[in-house]
Structure 1
């Protein structure tokens, strides 16, 4: 086998390894299904990409979690309750209720500073 043929085969092998590596890193992308049952999850990027942060239970101060202060995707995976968010710490400010199973992704960032689980069945 001549030198050119060996170089081509080595090049093909290296390219195959690079593609395999790309496949593995691609599988690390997050999805709503990555959010455990009973939790509320947010992602820093659109379409459930980037860093994920999750919480369960009531939280008077979510500001210690950086992703809750700048997220672009969310999934409410509560078991039997709705998720009530607040724009300020200690359950103050504007608020809204997110029903179990609700998902959303945006091009702009969102934040929440506290939460409670409500309307539990």
Structure 2
């Protein structure tokens, strides 16, 4: 998934923005990036925003209990209000993957897993 830094990140590995206390999920109905609430980071299990959607908000040290993050996502959208989100392949902000910029939407052919996230570059 391309971002402005020129790095490629698979949305599944790279998209985590889950608040330790705020969590949401939706079923497998037709989905679109517009289904992601303002201020949240959302990922989908399928390409082109299909399948199960998982949405998170805030910094999170352990996303392993959330299926779409732990098993891998194929689509994502950072609908953050003022921040980018760093995503990590490991718990506790380890194994940095990339930064998903605010407003970024993307879909990838291979699933990526995210086990922690942190909001950064807030304006």
Task: Please give the TM-score of this superposition, normalised by the length of structure 2.
Answer: 0.74
Aligned residue for 1:110? 112
Contact 2:54/2:68 (CA < 8 Å) preserved in 1? yes
Aligned residue for 1:42? 43
Long gaps (5+) in structure 2: 1-28
The CA distance in 1 between the partners of 2:80 and 2:114, in whole Å, is 17
* 1:95 Cα offset (Å): 2.8
In the alignment of these two chains, the number of paired residues is: 94
* 1:76 Cα offset (Å): 0.5
Contact 2:86/2:96 (CA < 8 Å) preserved in 1? no
The CA distance in 2 between the partners of 1:67 and 1:87, in whole Å, is 13
The CA distance in 2 between the partners of 1:59 and 1:93, in whole Å, is 14
Q: What CA deviation, in whole Å up to 9, does each residue of 1:52-75 have, x standing for no partner?
A: 000000000011101012110000
Aligned residue for 2:3? none
Q: How does 1:1-121 map to 2 (within 5 A)?
A: 28-69=29-70, 70-121=72-123
User: Which of 1 and 2 has greater Rg?
Assistant: 1
Long gaps (5+) in structure 1: 1-27
Q: Which runs of 4+ in 1 moved over 4 A?
A: none
Task: Please give the TM-score of this superposition, normalised by the length of structure 1.
Answer: 0.75
